Amino acid sequence: MFNYTVDLIYESLVQRLENRRETIAYGEGKAHLTFDDLSTCIEPNGNEISYDKAMVKHVFGKKIYKDKNPYLLPHSCASHLTNRLRFKSETHLIWGEFEKGENFFDIFSSLFYDCIYGEDESLKEMANRILIDYVPYAKTLSLYEMALKPSKYDMVKMEGTDYYIPLLFYGIPEDKVFSDYPKHLDEAINFLYKKCSIEFEREFRDFVVTDGDTLKKIDKKLLKFINDRLQPLLLKYQPTESSLGLRVKNIMVTDWLLIGKLVTGQVDNRNYYGRLLQSSLPYIDELAKLQEMLR
Tell me: the pLDDT tens digits for 164-183? 777 777 677 889 999 999 99
User: Which residues, including other chains, have CB under 8 Å from residue 87's CB and lie 6 or more apart?
Assistant: 20, 81, 93
Query: What is the reported pLDDT for 259?
Result: 66
CB 95 within 8 A of CB 10: no
For the stretch 15-29, pLDDT in tens is 999 999 999 988 888
CA 47 to chain centre: 45
256 pLDDT higher than 60: yes
Band of residue 258 on the pLDDT scale cut at 50, 70, 90: low
295 pLDDT higher than 80: no
CB 92 within 8 A of CB 212: no
For the stretch 178-216, pLDDT in tens is 999 999 999 999 999 999 999 999 999 999 999 999 999
For the stretch 31-48, pLDDT in tens is 889 999 999 987 777 678
Q: Are strands 40-42 and 48-50 parallel, antiparallel or unpaired?
A: antiparallel
How far is Cα 73 from Cα 18, in angstroms, rounded to an integer? Answer: 14
For the stretch 262-292, pLDDT in tens is 666 665 555 555 566 667 777 887 787 877 7
CB 229 within 8 A of CB 203: yes
Query: What is the reported pLDDT for 43?
Result: 73
For the stretch 110-158, pLDDT in tens is 999 999 999 999 999 999 999 999 999 998 998 898 888 777 766 666 6
How far is Cα 33 from Cα 17, in angstroms, rounded to an integer? Answer: 12
| Closest C-alpha to 93, from 199, 212, 233 | 212
| Closest C-alpha to 13, from 66, 61, 55, 76 | 61
Query: What is the reported pLDDT for 125?
Result: 94
- Lowest-pLDDT choice from 99-103, 225-229, 247-251, 261-265: 261-265
Is pLDDT larger for residue 241 or for residue 44?
241
* Average pLDDT score over residue span 51-75: 95
* Average pLDDT score over residue span 57-62: 96
